Structure 1
Amino acid sequence: MSDFQYLFSPLKVGKNELPNRIICAPHNTLYPRGSDQEIFYLRRRAEGGAGTIILASTKAAPSIDRPLPPQNIFTDEGIADTKKTVDALHEAGAKVLVELTVMPGWEGNPQPSHDMPYATGTMRTATTEELDELMDYYVQAIANCEKAGADGVDVYAACGFALHVLFDNRLFGERDDKYGDGVAVISDIVTRARALVSPEFIIALDLNVDEEFLGGITLDEGVEAARAICSTGAVDLLIVDAQQVKNQEGYLHYPSSYVPQALSMYACAAVREAVDIPVVGTHHINTCELAEQLIQEGQCDAVSMCRALIADPEMPNKAKRGENEDIRGCIGDCEACFGRFITGFQVGCSVNPDAGFEYLGDPFAPAETKKKVLVVGGGLSGMEAAYTAAMRGHTVTLMEKDSRLGGYVNVQAALPGLGDRGDIVRWYETQLAKAGVEILLNTEATPETLKSGGFDAHVLATGAIFAKNGISEHYLLPIPGHEADNVLTPEDVLAGKEVGEHVVVYDCTNYLVGPGIAEMLADQGKQVDLITYEAQIAKSLEPCYVNRAASMAVLPKVNYIPDTAVLGIEANTLTVRNRYTLDETEIDSVDTVVLATSRPPQDQLYLAVKDDLAEVYEIGDARCPQMASMQMFAATQAGRAIGKQL
């Protein structure tokens, strides 16, 4: 048992009590409200030790909104759907709050001010009467949450949603009617709602108290506003946000591994000193040890955790039992969770292939026929395939030609800002050993070893490597001069090959490895030119804002040349061409060129044995390399799928 003095103790909230200090933060999964998919997903987190679950993005009022599931609390159907999920989570022992949201300014809806910068386009200003109606909906929605059986409500006034817009009118546009006083507006909502619900019903408020960077409310003003609202006596729990306007500060709202942990705690600690109700800390709190520390230091009374519980819903229970080696940590890539949601796909996880698929049943159901299985390749796909197959009862051997498992993950984890990715390799190493998988390192598979090995099934996860010829989706022929000794790939650099003082990194993958190599070399004191064919680095990660966080880390250290193709390499001179002006120029005195342009599959082994073996499968990057966003999600999903198929 680990020593947690605070985290797993109950928390008194108003006239109610939370089982512990871990709250599963609201996050829109695009799973329909009340569906088996949502229920099984959230129930797994409740059973794993999260004492409180907040149901995300529940519409408080009708609106033409983003294309989200019909999860509302203002219709009888919405109340009934919510009750299905609430009842299931109560059976799992969790308390349940319902997050209420309204998104202003979408597809012709009026918004509090036509000056608001958040909306897609600028919609007309809502009338006083329209906002009166919206406030009535909010009050009734709070009461409806209790009708649905919830233990409380999370009134969301952050991230550019309707109540945040009214609360921070300096940032989103001032009004000259009663809705120009955001503190009074929110105070009125919670006071009216308190009169409609039972004393035990928890009214929580999620408040964004610092937007000074964008020109909005300052922290001092936010703290005073929180104090004023809480003085009404209608609010039982305060969730504190800071710097969370999505379009402008999305890289903080969806914090990647480039962003510091517990990044809103400075604001949370300031608010906690000013109010007399429990305060919840949020954003990038990824371990129980960090959560315990924050509570112990008095910065907050509870923590709201999201991606750590997506990656491992059993994290709280494992931490409480002292089983830290079994915790599958969040790697902070944001790609399969928020990245999928923002692009209209249901939430998944790069490292947890079960996330969102819990309703399909036990992925480790015993195989009807036990087999002797060989997995070739110890990258993500291979490790997951070996793990799933072994957990289903097969006898599994995992063969890896390198001295350690990890494959392409190791390339990423060696780079600045991406070190967290190595944790998933650690987790697999631990779990594969516990599952009884025989691991053969420094062992390269050949057609002969496969044909003579006596295995019943063969899974080839031989991966992909960066091409040295410079071929990319933008330039389909080899770059002249790529054969030179001073032309390297990212793998070459990480393997310790000599790199000169003036380096050009040419990246066409729209991902993080090319920029990461550039940053690493710049940190070593090299003069680095980073060339990308696109107008920005890591363009594939733009939807989840990771490209902005990466750009803030990389671009101050390098000479960045966007919108450019490398046409040729001759000795120490590169010929390049701007993709728009078509102007050709030369870069002189270049000692080393690093090409991160494409990753062709290493499919030679599969092609050599596919007709000679009765049961052979090719998976992961060996079948279809994922160069950009969601490549880790695709890898773990491929491994899980073949493991279940065997």
Structure 2
Amino acid sequence: MAYPTLLQETDLGPVSLRNRIMSSGHQTTLVEDYLPTEDFFAYHRARAQGGAGLIVLEAHSVHESGLLTDHTIDASRDAIVDEYRPFAEEINSLGTKLFCQLFHGGRERYSGDYAPPAPAPSDTPTERLHVIPCPMETDEVYEMIEAYADAAERMDRAGLDGVEIVGSHSYLPAQFWNPSLNDRSDEFGGSLENRCRFTVEIADRIRDRVSDDFTVGIRLSAEEKHKHGLSLEETLPIIQHLDEAATFDYWSVVVGSSSTHKGCSYIVPPASEDRQIVRSPGEAVASVIESPLILTSRINTPAKGEEMVSDGPADVVGMTRALIADPDMPAKAAEGRESDILPCVSCNQGCIGRYQEELPIRCTMNPVTGREREFRTLEAAESAKEIAVIGGGPAGLVAASTAAERGHEVTLFEQRDVLGGKIRTYADLDHRGAYGEWVEAMVNRLEAYEVDIERGVEFDPGQSSGYDVYLLAIGSHGRKPDITIDDDAHAVTAVEALENPEELGESIVVSDWDGNWSALDLASTLGSEHDIEVITSAYTAGESVQQYRQNQLLAKLDELDVTLTPHHRVREVKESNIELENLFSESVDERHGVDTVVFAHGGEADYSLYRNLVAEGAQVERVGDCWAPRSLDEAVWEGFKAATEI
């Protein structure tokens, strides 16, 4: 067996797992009226079918004051019991154990239609979410303890196998632990014992209310990763006290904090971080506890998971984003089919990024994620057709593999010698993730489905009589704005700049149109060798980038001394200087001594091939940027959707 320890059975308290792979609690927004939907059940069912040993369902609010958003599951109502009973039975029948998170964010809360007072140990505001909480009265603390126990009992009645008390990321239990957030003078403040009392009482009351074969664990941040948060040195005594004063069947360890911009970036660590971010603190925690240890963060391949459980401190590993990208990853690993695993690239766009926009969970690189109810099983085509997919970027790769999987005869034309399109340009950027690995996985799929790949071949419209259907996926090229650019000025697009950095000179202005990835890619990649100013039309550079990624990239730009100028657009480019204009006042300013202006202004589609094919009477479908320049999410989804409809 390739992964003997990772795929080995293990126990978490009274519950036995078939392997050590866990899908950790993560918000899906597949929730309506504070209850899970059929899409929610289908999403998790796929991970159980794919071989996960344990699924921990997302944050379930134990009290109505803890509903983090309008899409939070409410475990304070009895309705949740009947919703979960058949689901829990089904998940168990598939060989997977099912826990859920018991959650209250305290002062850490997003606002919905109405923002009730946020209960917390003290009234210390939270920096990131700008909430000023209401200090809990002593009787309210005891009521909250009882709410945790009530919720746990409901999960036991519903047939779940366990619960996890969420004390991570500076949520309510951790707010009691932290003396800088807890200035209480009652039995829940002051000494270490008192600050831990809230958690100990919760654990004890849950034990009194649930059956003996029900697992009770706790999740916490070993270090909160910001200067006002709990450090590892401060957390270890808390863990030791909790371990002595209460009984937990496992400890689930992460890092980070919701309360600051810096700390929250580690909740779902981006590609710039690796698994070592949690391994080192995990080793420290393992040295002071007896119960099993779960580690989660950037453990995104079976090999990394095996390393963490065989040579590292973990008994179980959270491989959540890997399972978001490919729910069948455990089964494929067990069967030796690693080359067929669709990798997570850690872009954070389709998963946590969509949650923060109150949208249902998706995966940028896997179009089925969040749509399992409709697309978990692809239907074979009624009749096989000859299909030409023109363009080997993300949309074309997905379209070709999906059409071939359904039984069509597919030829893929790519004018370059390599597949992948523009994401090849970004594949080597450390902060951008494993795009190259995703392209390799897609090429493996093309070969497995016997797609005829024509590399280095520009499609000839005269060939249009040879195919039943044409899927046009030729992408777009970089756009320059319709402004005056002198012939002697050096003005290039973002991709051109990344591919030819030696031609840029010393002083660079990046003109950012929409606050998206490209400007941050350029500035963070080139900033150590060049003097860079990002002039953005957005409210801030990176405005459209997922928050955790944005935070870390803006921190890097600060370290590189990159100048950020928001609310402006470049109005004119001359040989060595530019004019810029304030979007609101329309006042004009200048920059002198500029060697290169790089336009990060999105894409521009070429519609000529589409129009030629249509004029010849061909059946043509456009997907991705050649239809209209947008994001990678749309390219992948449209390539998939078009192929399912042929």
480, 486, 493: which one pairs with 1:489?
493
Q: Secondary structure at the match of 2:359?
A: coil
CA displacement at 1:494 relative to structure 2: 4.1
2:156 equivalent to 1:159:
no
Q: Secondary structure at the match of 2:453?
A: strand
Task: Spell out, residue by residue over 1:566-591, the C-alpha distance to the aligned partner (whole angstroms, 9 max, x if none).
Answer: 22222122223344565534333333
Q: Is the 8 A contact 2:486 2:575 kept in 1?
A: no
Q: Which amino acid aligns with 1:79?
A: V
286, 290, 297: which one pairs with 2:300?
286
Of the structure 1 ranges 325-334 and 235-244, higher mean CA displacement relative to structure 2 is found in 235-244
Identity %: 25
Q: Distance in 1 between matches of 2:637 and 2:279?
A: 35
Q: Distance in 1 between matches of 2:6 and 2:25?
A: 19
236, 243, 247: which one pairs with 1:223?
236
Q: Distance in 2 between matches of 1:416 and 1:506?
A: 22
2:114 equivalent to 1:111:
no
Q: Is the 8 A contact 2:425 2:499 kept in 1?
A: no
Q: Is the 8 A contact 1:115 1:122 kept in 2?
A: yes
Q: Distance in 2 between matches of 1:361 and 1:512?
A: 30
Q: Tell me the residue number matched to 2:134.
A: 124
Of the structure 1 ranges 57-66 and 17-26, higher mean CA displacement relative to structure 2 is found in 57-66
Q: CA RMSD in A?
A: 2.2
Q: Which amino acid aligns with 1:507?
A: D
Q: Tell me the residue number matched to 2:603.
A: 599
Q: Distance in 1 between matches of 2:103 and 2:209?
A: 19
The 1:217/1:504 distance shift into structure 2, 3 A limit, reads: closer
Q: Distance in 2 between matches of 1:257 and 1:519?
A: 14
The 1:84/1:179 distance shift into structure 2, 3 A limit, reads: farther
Q: Tell me the residue number matched to 2:593.
A: 589
Q: Distance in 1 between matches of 2:499 and 2:170?
A: 46
Q: Tell me the residue number matched to 1:37.
A: 39
Q: Tell me the residue number matched to 2:424.
A: 410
For residues 133-282 of structure 1, the aligned pairs below 5 Å read 133-168=143-178, 170-180=179-189, 181-211=194-224, 213-245=226-258, 247-248=260-261, 249-282=263-296
The 1:265/1:411 distance shift into structure 2, 3 A limit, reads: same
Task: Spell out, residue by residue over 1:305-340, the C-alpha distance to the aligned partner (whole angstroms, 9 max, x if none).
Answer: 211110011112222333221111111110111111
Q: Secondary structure at the match of 1:178?
A: coil
Q: Distance in 1 between matches of 2:327 and 2:486?
A: 47
For residues 455-474 of structure 1, the aligned pairs below 5 Å read 455-467=467-479, 470-471=480-481
The 1:217/1:121 distance shift into structure 2, 3 A limit, reads: closer
Q: Tell me the residue number matched to 2:451.
A: 437
Q: Is the 8 A contact 2:509 2:598 kept in 1?
A: yes
Q: Distance in 2 between matches of 1:593 and 1:110?
A: 47
CA displacement at 1:304 relative to structure 2: 1.4
Q: Which amino acid aligns with 1:445?
A: F
550, 554, 568: which one pairs with 1:551?
554
CA displacement at 1:499 relative to structure 2: 2.9
Task: Spell out, residue by residue over 1:400-436, the C-alpha distance to the aligned partner (whole angstroms, 9 max, x if none).
Answer: 1122111121232243422422221111111011111
Q: Which amino acid aligns with 2:608?
A: Q
Q: Tell me the residue number matched to 1:643.
A: 643
The 1:598/1:20 distance shift into structure 2, 3 A limit, reads: closer
Q: Secondary structure at the match of 1:199?
A: coil
Q: Which amino acid aligns with 1:261?
A: R
Segments of structure 2 that go 5 or more residues without pairing to the other structure are 110-114
CA displacement at 1:557 relative to structure 2: 2.5
The 1:243/1:361 distance shift into structure 2, 3 A limit, reads: closer
Of the structure 1 ranges 596-605 and 631-640, higher mean CA displacement relative to structure 2 is found in 596-605
522, 533, 558: which one pairs with 1:517?
522
Q: Distance in 1 between matches of 2:101 and 2:486?
A: 55
2:575 equivalent to 1:571:
yes
Of the structure 1 ranges 52-61 and 590-599, higher mean CA displacement relative to structure 2 is found in 590-599
Q: Distance in 2 between matches of 1:209 and 1:518?
A: 32
Q: Tell me the residue number matched to 2:507.
A: 502
CA displacement at 1:622 relative to structure 2: 0.9
CA displacement at 1:553 relative to structure 2: 2.6
CA displacement at 1:607 relative to structure 2: 2.1
Q: Tell me the residue number matched to 1:101.
A: 103
The 1:212/1:42 distance shift into structure 2, 3 A limit, reads: closer
The 1:460/1:138 distance shift into structure 2, 3 A limit, reads: same
Q: Tell me the residue number matched to 1:475.
A: none
Q: Which amino acid aligns with 1:480?
A: T
Q: Secondary structure at the match of 1:539?
A: coil
Q: Is the 8 A contact 2:511 2:600 kept in 1?
A: yes
Q: Distance in 1 between matches of 2:435 and 2:612?
A: 33
Task: Spell out, residue by residue over 1:204-245, the C-alpha distance to the aligned partner (whole angstroms, 9 max, x if none).
Answer: 011234237332333223111112112235211011132222
The 1:601/1:408 distance shift into structure 2, 3 A limit, reads: same
CA displacement at 1:120 relative to structure 2: 4.6
The 1:208/1:519 distance shift into structure 2, 3 A limit, reads: closer
Q: Secondary structure at the match of 1:159?
A: coil
Q: Distance in 1 between matches of 2:219 and 2:124?
A: 24
CA displacement at 1:161 relative to structure 2: 2.7
Number of residues of Structure 1 aligned to a counterpart in Structure 2: 628
Q: Distance in 2 between matches of 1:197 and 1:396?
A: 56
Q: Tell me the residue number matched to 1:536.
A: 540
Q: Secondary structure at the match of 2:154?
A: helix
The 1:483/1:417 distance shift into structure 2, 3 A limit, reads: farther
Of the structure 1 ranges 484-493 and 318-327, higher mean CA displacement relative to structure 2 is found in 484-493
Segments of structure 1 that go 5 or more residues without pairing to the other structure are 472-477
Task: Spell out, residue by residue over 1:171-229, the C-alpha distance to the aligned partner (whole angstroms, 9 max, x if none).
Answer: 43421222223311111111222122233211101123423733233322311111211
Q: Tell me the residue number matched to 2:18.
A: 19
Q: Tell me the residue number matched to 2:112.
A: none
Q: Is the 8 A contact 1:518 1:528 kept in 2?
A: yes
CA displacement at 1:28 relative to structure 2: 1.1
The 1:363/1:640 distance shift into structure 2, 3 A limit, reads: farther
Q: Distance in 2 between matches of 1:37 and 1:439?
A: 36
CA displacement at 1:13 relative to structure 2: 2.4
Q: Secondary structure at the match of 2:240?
A: helix
Q: Secondary structure at the match of 1:230?
A: helix
Q: Tell me the residue number matched to 2:86.
A: 84
Taking structure 1 as the reference length, what is the TM-score of the superposition? 0.92
Of the structure 1 ranges 232-241 and 375-384, higher mean CA displacement relative to structure 2 is found in 232-241
Q: Secondary structure at the match of 1:396?
A: strand
Q: Distance in 2 between matches of 1:116 and 1:502?
A: 41
Q: Tell me the residue number matched to 2:626.
A: 622
The 1:246/1:425 distance shift into structure 2, 3 A limit, reads: farther
Q: Distance in 1 between matches of 2:166 and 2:518?
A: 37
